[in-house]
């Protein structure tokens, strides 16, 4: 019989492997090159010197070859690791854990070194790429940000959607900055040594805004709570534990204009990135002071009258997840809501032993990630 522990390790290893969607990113870049080549062939209405055009074609074809080569490498890597995952799921003894996680870590490091050294993700100059946009959502029907914001806040202004676009574009660029990723990786090892959690406890991942909106749109209680928090006289806040570079905090702050929002993240590089973005983009909205980022351990942080707490618990160690749940059971006010990726809070009387909402939505590491919402009842 395969052990439950092995299933947990395999899930974590897979989450780690897909924390950045390299397949999708590389494919989108190759598609943009192909579009630029097609435009060039069909004529884009701009009269250019033949030599210049030939050079542009050569660069595009070269880049396209590199990207397809990288895509092949990525597919082989995924196939090999999926084989390892399947074998680990089938064995009936414990102990696959560190070997499997090491294998994912080493393979990713090797692949990222290749991306870096060969400049695979380096942007092409606009003069070469022309108007062919690099769209990570090519082939998917993704609504405009303003339409997404208005699904939960019908009176939202265009300015909020523009700010969200600026911030998410900048964060997506960061994900591809391999030096930045190396610094995050160093932080993970350091934090793991300092506080004793496993390195996987700090795994990176991101949630698209469309999923965040679907979660709130599908749960009336979440929306009405956020509206309550947005009231000028309210002292409640929306809090993200494990806020990473701030994605989920910025979503809350820019969707609900007056809501007080707070993110707690233990890794300094991720925290610093969030703060820099807040300074650069939120200051323009004049509402930056509503947003707070704290660098530290959520298990010792203050809950500050939280009305909604988002637990980004997907890769947390079991002991960290349990301690977070116990802290919420002891300290959270009655009526507050908690969003979690698992059903863990149903073990607690304080949360009525039952979630009030459940859905599945895409995130960077899983196209069908479960989300549970609980209410503190006692």
Ligand X SMILES: C[S@@+](CC[C@H](N)C(=O)[O-])C[C@H]1O[C@@H](n2cnc3c(N)ncnc32)[C@H](O)[C@@H]1O
Residues 290-349 that bind ligand X (CB under 6 A): 297-299, 312, 314-316, 320
Within 8 A by CB and 6+ apart from 140, the residues are none
Query: In the sheet where 357-363 sits, what is the strand order?
Result: 291-295, 261-265, 237-241, 306-311, 337-340, 366-375, 357-363
DSSP 173: H
Nearer to ligand X among residue 247 and residue 293 (C-beta)? 247
Nearer to ligand X among residue 31 and residue 206 (C-beta)? 206
Residues 226-245 that bind ligand X (CB under 6 A): 242-244
Which of the ranges 69-77, 201-209, 213-221, 332-340 carries the binding residues for ligand X, by CB under 6 A? Answer: 201-209
Nearer to ligand X among residue 219 and residue 270 (C-beta)? 270
Contact 178, 115 (CB under 8 A): yes
- How many other CB atoms are found less than 10 A from the CB of residue 58? 11
Contact between 167 and ligand X by CB under 6 A: the answer reads no
Integer Cα distance of 68 and 64 in angstroms: 6
- How many other CB atoms are found less than 10 A from the CB of residue 280? 13
Nearer to ligand X among residue 216 and residue 316 (C-beta)? 316
Q: How far is the CB of 169 from ligand X (least distance, A)?
A: 15
Residues 11-70 that bind ligand X (CB under 6 A): none
Contact between 175 and ligand X by CB under 6 A: the answer reads no
DSSP 245: T
Contact between 250 and ligand X by CB under 6 A: the answer reads no
Integer Cα distance of 117 and 164 in angstroms: 32
Contact 308, 249 (CB under 8 A): no
Which of the ranges 101-109, 151-159, 266-274, 347-355 carries the binding residues for ligand X, by CB under 6 A? Answer: 266-274
Integer Cα distance of 294 and 263 in angstroms: 6
350 three-class SS: helix
Nearer to ligand X among residue 202 and residue 374 (C-beta)? 202
Residue of 71, 270, 338, 361 that binds ligand X (CB under 6 A): 270
CB half-sphere exposure, 348, CA atoms < 13 A: 22
Contact between 248 and ligand X by CB under 6 A: the answer reads yes
Q: How far is the CB of 150 from ligand X (least distance, A)?
A: 22
Which of the ranges 25-33, 129-137, 168-176, 263-271 carries the binding residues for ligand X, by CB under 6 A? Answer: 263-271
Integer Cα distance of 311 and 240 in angstroms: 6
Instruction: Give the number of residues in contact with ligand X, rule: CB under 6 A.
Output: 25
Contact between 206 and ligand X by CB under 6 A: the answer reads yes
Residue of 247, 256, 281, 348 that binds ligand X (CB under 6 A): 247
Give 3-state DSSP helix, strand, coil % of the chain, rounded to 5: 60, 10, 30
- Pairing relation of β-strands 337-340 and 306-311? parallel
Contact between 205 and ligand X by CB under 6 A: the answer reads yes
Nearer to ligand X among residue 163 and residue 271 (C-beta)? 271
Residue nearest to ligand X (CB): 242
Which residues here bind ligand X, judged by CB under 6 A? Answer: 201-203, 205-207, 242-244, 247-248, 264-267, 270, 297-299, 312, 314-316, 320, 363
């Amino acid at each position: 019989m395969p052990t439950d522990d092995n299933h947990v390790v395999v899930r974590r290893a897979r989450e780690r492997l897909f924390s950045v969607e390299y397949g999708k990113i590389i494919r989108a870049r190759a598609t943009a090159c192909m579009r630029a080549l097609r435009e060039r062939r069909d004529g884009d209405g701009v009269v250019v010197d033949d030599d210049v055009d030939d050079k542009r074609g050569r660069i595009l074809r070269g880049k396209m070859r590199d990207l397809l080569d990288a895509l092949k490498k990525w597919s082989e890597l995924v196939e090999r690791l999926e084989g390892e995952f399947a074998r680990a799921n089938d064995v009936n003894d414990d102990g696959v854990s560190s070997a499997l996680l090491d294998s994912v870590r080493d393979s990713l490091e090797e692949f990222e070194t290749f991306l870096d050294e060969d400049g695979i993700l380096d942007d092409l100059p606009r003069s070469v790429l022309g108007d062919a946009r690099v769209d990570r959502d090519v082939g998917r029907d993704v609504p405009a940000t303003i339409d997404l914001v208005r699904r939960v806040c019908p009176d939202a202004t265009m300015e909020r959607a523009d700010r969200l676009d600026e911030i998410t574009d900048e964060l997506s660029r960061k994900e591809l900055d391999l030096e930045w990723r190396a610094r995050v990786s160093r932080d993970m090892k350091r934090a793991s040594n300092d506080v004793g959690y496993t390195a996987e406890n700090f795994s990176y991942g991101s949630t698209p805004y469309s999923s965040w909106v679907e979660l709130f749109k599908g749960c009336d209680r979440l929306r009405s709570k956020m509206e309550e928090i947005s009231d000028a006289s309210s002292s409640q806040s929306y809090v993200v534990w494990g806020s990473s570079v701030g994605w989920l905090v910025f979503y809350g702050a820019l969707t609900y204009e007056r809501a007080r929002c707070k993110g707690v993240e233990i890794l300094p590089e991720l925290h610093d990135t969030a703060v820099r973005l807040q300074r650069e983009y939120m200051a323009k909205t004049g509402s930056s002071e509503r947003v707070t980022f704290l660098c530290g351990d959520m298990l010792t942080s203050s809950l500050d009258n939280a009305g909604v707490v988002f637990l980004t618990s997907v890769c947390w160690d079991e002991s960290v997840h349990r301690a977070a749940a116990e802290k919420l059971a002891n300290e959270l006010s009655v009526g507050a809501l908690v969003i979690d990726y698992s059903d863990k809070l149903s073990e607690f009387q304080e949360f009525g032993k039952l979630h009030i909402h459940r859905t599945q939505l895409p995130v960077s590491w899983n196209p069908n990630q479960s989300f549970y919402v609980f209410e503190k009842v006692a």
